[in-house]
Structure 1
Amino acid sequence: MRWRRCQLKGSRMARSLKENEACRDAAAAIDVLAAIDQVLAIGESQVTDHRAAYRCLGLLIELTGARQGAIALHDPAGDALLTLATQSSYSAGSGHYGPDRGSAPRIFKNMGRAAQILAGDAVIDNGGSELALGNQTDEAWRVTSLLGFPLRQGGKPRGVLLLADRPDGFLEAQLGACRQLAPAIASVIAGAGTLQALQRTEHWLETLVDGMPQLVWRARDTGAWSWSSRQWQAFTGQSAEQSRGSGWLAAVHPEDREPVRRAWTRALQDDRFEADHRLYHAEDADYRWVQSRAHAVRECGGRCAEWIGTTSDIDDLRRLQHRQQRLACELQHRVRNMLTIIRSVYDRSMESGGDPEELASHFRGRLDNLARTQVIVMQSADGKVDLETIIRDELLSAAAHGRISLAGPEVALPAAVAEPLGLAIHELTTNAIKFGALRFAASRLDIAWAVTAAHRDTPKLTLEWREHAVPAVPLAPIRRGFGLELIEKAIPYRLSARSTVDFAPGGIGCRIILDLPASEGDGRLAATK
């Protein structure tokens, strides 16, 4: 009987132990399921992969009772393990799991063991020389126990999970918990890393778009905009909301809106949107010419998902092109005029008769004068010629010396006025060197000019050439040469001027009065008074 009672008592104890063990297993399973839920919640919180690994590591340390741990990811490019997160209770006090901000946790002094775990399977080691990570013999570099588990995703190595220094060592229960949690942890870290990569890419694209000089936008097939860049908003003054749909057309010049709509209709057939139009510029409160271009973004099946487009400011370029066209036309006109002047100079020079060498010298002098005027015109940014510069260049080229005085304001002459007026000054200078004030040392030459203008009247330029104390009494010539024909007939005809030549005692006098044209485009006077 006694033996029978002992047997019954042992059976009851065995059943009690089994029940207690089952309860412990159930509790452990519940803890693991709760930990899995927390890991999945971490994945939904949209944190970085470092933060996700750190939080998952904290859950594992709390679940297994380890004192420190680490998660490292495998870098296929360098075939190395890169530390993602670490936690240790040694540096923050018992029961607190925080990042070790001092020296690196002892578990990560050497990653050689972690690489072995990545290549193989889970490892539990509760003692022995194997726990000295690497070849270090210093006791401070040792761990008392180690649990290592590989993190895999899609059957490929993703990283390793290391836990260390559990006071009672690691058991199969802790390994089972890691085995159940590892897939969720690997998935969460990978998802967080993907999200972080997407966020970095998005930030990079935003930075790239913000640094572009073009106005960037997105639209649907109908031309309805879904997004516009900050450049568009700054250029047009529209907000992002105002530009959506067809609102962007409000910034297009009213005369260009219908052509732009037709361009969108053609874009559906040509798979490319192109339009040059005027766009409102908020800073100038005016319209500027722009060039808009867009391409369709198609999905794998060929369906158009959206359009990505840019708008570039080409207003300055168009102005330069138009100016270039005007300059080309002006050059053609100027060349024709110059050839006409040269032919006229040649004809008049030949008609005057005389010694051939003298005629050739006069002709060369007149051509040189025209050439100097053209040089001044080409050197000027606005194609204007300063009157005083014409006079000084002519006197210097003729090596004129003596008592000469120049007086007058700054006057900018267009080429059409400077050419005949320069020829007139050349003829007067040549005559003065041969017969007048520039031949005799005691003589004097005064050249003066002035600009006068009544209210709202066209300004008038008056040029006076006056020679003094010439010994010989000038007489009016019997035959009228090229110089007199130019001053008394050609200049009045070409410039609508009034000109007179006075053969007075003491020297020749000449007066030329002509209207000064306004500068092209802005109505400013060609003279600076």
Structure 2
Amino acid sequence: MHETTLRIPVETSEENRTAVILAHDLSSETGDEKLDAITRFAAALCGAPIALVSLVEKDRQRFLGRTGLDVTETPRETSFCAHAMLGSEPMIVSDATRDPRFANNPLVTGPTGIRFYAGMPLISEEGVPLGALCVIDRVPRGGLTPLQKQGLRVLADDVMARLETRRHARVARAAFDESEVKFRVLADTMPQMVWSTRPDGYHDYYNARWYEFTGMPPGSTDGEGWNGMFHPEDQERAWEVWRHSLATGDPYQVEYRLRHRSGEYRWTLGRALPIRNEAQEIIRWFGTCTDIHEHKLAMEEREVISQELSHRIKNIFSVIAGLIGFAARADPQFAETAKGLRERVLALGRAHDFVRPHSSKSRPSSAPNSLMGLLEQLFAPYENTPGERVAVSGEDAAIDDRSATPFALLFHELATNAAKYGALSNDDGRVSLSIAGYSNALWIVWKETGGPPVKRKPANAGFGSQLLELSAVRQLGGKVDRAWEEDGLCVTIVVPRSALSRQPMDG
């Protein structure tokens, strides 16, 4: 590779550094049709048979554009342009045979036979001379007209604009290539499969890990070929999620089974994010595929074990209820107490069944982990259709196994007492249960109407009252207020949101 040496006075090391950079940037310049067109116009403008765009280097001058001359370069020691580039105005040689600088130059005495030369300096943006745009004739001439000089200056500016554009593009391309190399090295060292697409979703890059995992030849999964690597049952779902992301710009995330090089399908988590420019237009998608097969199998196994354990716990409730019923039959005096105890145990069983882990077949019809869903299950024995005798309204709330048990005991007790003594003990009574959410608490109001008239507050707190206190206050950390109004019992329960679920709640 040649290096340009600038034989001009330099005042600072910064100018020297600039010259070296420019020499490196333009050292690989070659001619192009645009520069050839400029030389043709320059030759026609000046009425000369030869025109050149010359880049002067350490040992040679190269012609990046030329008209009327077959050679592409000459030695630097014979260069007219090496002199022309040192000025700021066109250098004009009317008759080279009479100029001491060029009289013995081989380009003058030899077959080329230069007599007339006019060269306009080519100066970089940094002020560094690079060469010249020149016109040459084989006969002596008096010079250039003012219009020809002006035209040559304009054309020289066009040459420099083109060279600078090419230089900046090459620098940017080099920087991009360096960045691309670094990205590929980084991507190939990652344990995950990495891929990239154009804005329209066309897959055009995969890292080495992808080909190692799939065993596919490089390039074989470009475009839409990637989807064929998925399990047939997962392909349409993956396509649907991907199309949604392309249409909306939303992040892409989906689990699917990806074909391993062994032929086995392994569970994989696919993710992708869009890269946007300053105008917020998507210019690229970058994604990863993570092998989660062992984790997925472990989770499925854990879910099966959890469902089996939960199912056995549910059976324990049934066994306990059966033992209570057996004891009641053996001791008739215990029958009434046993009946209430058995119903409470069964209510706990329903609460557990509602919040326990379920398979797709065993899941309750109501929304899982929902307070209203649990209430629907608890009140079902007291009405033929939901809402017929007990109307629940207001805000729903997420619950888990921690709060489901005390809620089940609390509302089972209220419903049982209403069926024995209150609004559900006749055909006309109704119960309204309203739920209102505030930032830190849930307010629940149980209001009975249409039942037997309430004459007075009970003198003594029975087991039911103690159970309400145990459930709402001690287990849920809330408060209970009971009012024996003339048209029926009204119970207000305040429960902190932190007691409802282990998951964080929105305010």
Q: Please tell me the TM-score bracket, short chain as reference.
A: 0.3 to 0.5
Larger radius of gyration, structure 1 or 2?
A: 1
Scaled by the length of structure 2, what TM-score is found?
A: 0.35
